[in-house]
């Protein structure tokens, strides 16, 4: 385990030019996996036999935060196997902006697109969810995914006392635990079928670590508890109904380290039977870039102004979906504005300890 | 040769529900290639050997007009080879809306998306131009492309007396002829390398046919001559400069049937040397759906209202690019509005014989 691997100066260095604070954290998460990725590629004993070497980034978004890592990994394979055609496939949901992925990778943006510089490389995209089969049997040499597999394929029920499973209890928590288990087994089962024998997989997932920490729930002010408290206050104030509060749940499950490992270590699990083996697992905490930035500039209003839009970008659809469709669209939009305004006020008035530290498992696997 | 293969009632039947007049013509062009496609697949002697069968639609746009054909072709292969995983790759320029492609193919729109209904099928996209290599060597079993290869990779110079090579003369025409030749040889050379031995290719291209006809230049009012005349009038009126008129050229070359065939029949051509062989070539004219619609309703104003936006959608960027960047953006936009307004007025006042009939070569090839 390697807590707090990166410092503010790392962020500034790596983030300069290309990356905003909104993407710097996710990029550091990925870049800090580079030694593990190189190790996984070394272990694969890549022969220079002229066959296609296929790599994938699953749940890629615009491909920006992984672009340095992917370029490095492909060049590393190219060194080992000059004769092998390389394919790189970016996968995400159909609604993803794949045009932006191609622009980034082919060097048509400010990002360091690697495709023009690597010979005999072919880049593809897939709009198929990683909960399903993306590739044919035995067609993938090296798979990667970061900060994606916590999305479960469906909500198994309500969480009446909180907006996220990190605050759920009893039977409600158990339903999310089971959904998280079943989805993880299915995700890994799909990848096990897709990997060639000897192929490798590096997966970085939001998790609950050995100290019980998770995204935005490390030290200081807990992000998901704040999400929950402010939303519940809107219900208690009558701005939204209690039914709407209860209907609002993030479709996510943060697995702990045992849950992440189980399908790979239990000989009775279909994933293990399919030959997928765990080579390495560790957890890492990456500091929230907004908090680090605030600790430099000390301006609470600026902190709130910078931080809230990012929080909002990945969470507002969840709160929006919780609101009754009987409300006019405009009214729902106003309620969401009000909600994030209240989060902004809370950060402005209580800036210390706010933030969204990333807590991930870093897992390396191979197929026997 | 099979002129005027489709009638107004065909269009109405095939277009009902899913397709607008803007896409009906392009869809009929593709659907009428289905017998050739089935023949090409028959000739390939597809064995049920469990290996991946890879198909591609190159220059796919949103994949809508080819969706019935691709679904039929993949099902035809599936019948012949139940054990083979199928991959279907859609290719276009990076700016293409690949998200829309995935929505269409995966059945998330009103179009008849085939992916959910075909077992062991994997859909991909590529943002690589067909002027370049899209796939590794020997990785493509069956390639398709419609109404795309007339785009040349660069303008080889000005055409001072017209906006399109169909009106060019002398050395200016010769430069476009040579660019068209070189690009076609490169396109076919790329596909020859990508195809597996025994693989097939069906390409439908805008052309100049045996009677000298081409897109919008069949009978009646010539579309490209109208484009040219109205743009030149704006130069003569002083609305644009003569330099702007001369700088405006469609980056296209319409090959004749001999030019289409040459790389495949000349034993000295690298394409022929790479093993690509011509099995079949014919030309077809598909009636302009807007003209057919007008012949039914007889309302010239409606004809102009329906037809001009489609003309504009694929041509306005060419006229816009011809205008001097010294003009404010807004002024350029107003000039383009004015230009298409004048085309609309011309159609309204002279509706008879207006339209954009499609003239294509239908080519079937295989790699030895």
In chain A, what are the domains? 8-212+251-299+356-367 (3.40.50.150)
For residue A279, how far is the Cα from the chain centroid? 21
Does residue A342 register a pLDDT over 60?
A: yes
Residue carrying the six token digits 């272990």: A43
In our burial notation (b when 16+ CB lie closer than 10 A, e otherwise), range B234-267 reads: bbeeeebeeebbbbbbbbbbbbbbebbebbbeee
Q: What was the pLDDT predicted at B19?
A: 66
Contact B128 A137 (CB under 8 A): no
How far does the CA of residue A14 sit from the closest CA of chain B (Å)?
A: 27
Q: What was the pLDDT predicted at A29?
A: 96
Residue carrying the six token digits 């081409």: B214
Four-CA torsion B36, B38, B41, B43, nearest 10 degrees: -70
Assign B159 a pLDDT band (cuts: 50, 70, 90). very high
Assign A44 a pLDDT band (cuts: 50, 70, 90). very high
Q: Which residues of A touch B137 (CB under 8 A)?
A: 85
- What is the bridge-based pairing of β-strands B358-367 and B276-286? antiparallel
Contact in structure between B88 and B121 (CB atoms under 8 Å): yes
Q: What whole-number distance in Å separates Cα of residue B90 and Cα of residue A82? A: 28
Q: Determine the residue of chain B that is closest to A136 in CA distance.
A: B85
Share of chain A above pLDDT 90, in %: 93
Q: Which residues of B touch A101 (CB under 8 A)?
A: 127
pLDDT (mean) for B6-24: 52
Does residue B247 register a pLDDT over 50?
A: yes
Contact A85 B122 (CB under 8 A): no
Indicate if the alpha-carbon torsion angle B103, B107, B112, B117 is positive or negative.
positive
How far does the CA of residue A63 sit from the closest CA of chain B (Å)?
A: 14
Q: Which residues of B touch A128 (CB under 8 A)?
A: 106, 122-123
pLDDT (mean) for A182-195: 98
Q: How many CB atoms neighbour CB A234 within 10 A?
A: 18
Picking from B103, B122, B136, the nearest residue to A122 by CB comes out as B136
pLDDT (mean) for B308-319: 94
Picking from B52, B94, B134, the nearest residue to A103 by CB comes out as B94
- What is the bridge-based pairing of β-strands B140-146 and B195-208? parallel
- Pick from B125, B128, B129 the residue to mutate for testing the A interface (most A CBs within 10 Å): B125
pTM of the model: 0.93
Contact B124 A89 (CB under 8 A): yes
Q: What was the pLDDT predicted at A20?
A: 74
For residue A168, how far is the Cα from the chain centroid? 21
Picking from B98, B122, B139, the nearest residue to A52 by CB comes out as B139
Average pLDDT, chain B: 94
Q: Determine the residue of chain A that is closest to B88 in CA distance.
A: A126
Q: What whole-number distance in Å separates Cα of residue B129 and Cα of residue B321? A: 21
Q: What was the pLDDT predicted at A19?
A: 65
Residue carrying the six token digits 């009754």: A324
Contact in structure between B244 and B320 (CB atoms under 8 Å): no
What's B106's DSSP letter? T
pLDDT (mean) for B267-291: 97
Does residue A13 register a pLDDT over 50?
A: no
Q: What whole-number distance in Å separates Cα of residue B307 and Cα of residue B311? A: 7
Contact in structure between B286 and B21 (CB atoms under 8 Å): no
Q: What whole-number distance in Å separates Cα of residue B88 and Cα of residue A218? A: 45
pLDDT (mean) for A125-130: 98
Q: What whole-number distance in Å separates Cα of residue B264 and Cα of residue B361? A: 14
Contact B124 A126 (CB under 8 A): yes
Share of chain B above pLDDT 90, in %: 92
Q: What was the pLDDT predicted at B23?
A: 85
How far does the CA of residue A134 sit from the closest CA of chain B (Å)?
A: 6
Closest CA to A34 of A56, A66, A1: A66
DSSP A14-36: HHTTT--HHHHHHHHHHHTTHHH
Rounded to two decimals, the ipTM of the complex is: 0.92
Picking from B89, B120, B133, the nearest residue to A124 by CB comes out as B89
Does residue A17 register a pLDDT over 70?
A: no
Contact A124 B120 (CB under 8 A): no
Q: Which residues of A touch B128 (CB under 8 A)?
A: 106, 122-123
Does residue B313 register a pLDDT over 80?
A: yes
């Amino acid at each position: 385990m390697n807590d707090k691997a990166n410092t503010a100066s790392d962020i500034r260095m790596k983030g300069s030019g290309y990356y905003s604070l909104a993407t710097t954290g996710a990029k550091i998460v990925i870049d800090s996996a580079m030694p593990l990725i190189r190790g996984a590629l070394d272990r694969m004993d890549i022969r220079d036999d002229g066959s296609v070497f296929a790599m994938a980034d699953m749940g890629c978004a615009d491909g920006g935060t992984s672009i340095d890592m992917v370029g490095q990994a492909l060049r590393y394979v190219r060194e080992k196997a000059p004769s092998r055609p390389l394919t790189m496939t970016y996968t995400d949901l159909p609604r993803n902006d794949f045009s932006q992925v191609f622009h980034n990778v082919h060097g048509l943006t400010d990002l360091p697109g690697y495709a023009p510089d690597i010979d005999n490389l072919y880049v593809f995209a897939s709009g198929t969810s990683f909960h399903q089969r993306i590739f044919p049997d035995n067609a993938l040499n090296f798979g990667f995914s970061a900060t994606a597999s916590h999305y479960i394929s469906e909500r198994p029920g309500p969480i009446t006392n909180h907006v996220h499973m990190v605050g759920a209890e009893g039977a409600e928590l158990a339903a999310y635990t089971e959904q998280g288990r079943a989805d993880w087994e299915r995700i890994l089962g799909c990848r096990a079928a897709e990997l060639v024998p000897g192929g490798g997989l590096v997966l970085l997932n939001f998790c609950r670590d050995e100290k019980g920490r998770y995204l935005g729930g490390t030290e200081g002010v807990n992000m998901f508890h704040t999400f929950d408290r402010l939303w519940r206050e809107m219900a208690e104030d009558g701005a939204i109904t209690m039914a709407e509060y209860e209907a609002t749940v993030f479709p996510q499950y943060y697995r702990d380290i045992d849950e992440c490992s189980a399908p790979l270590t239990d000989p009775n699990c279909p994933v293990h039977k399919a030959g997928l083996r765990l080579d390495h697992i560790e957890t890492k905490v990456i500091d929230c870039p907004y908090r680090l930035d605030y600790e430099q500039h000390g301006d609470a209003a600026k902190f709130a102004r910078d931080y809230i839009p990012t929080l909002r970008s990945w969470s507002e659809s969840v709160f929006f979906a919780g609101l009754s469709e009987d409300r006019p669209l405009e009214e729902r939009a106003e309620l969401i504005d009000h909600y994030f305004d209240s989060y902004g006020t809370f950060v402005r008035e209580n800036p210390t300890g706010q933030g969204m530290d990333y807590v991930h498992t870093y897992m390396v696997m191979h197929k026997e």
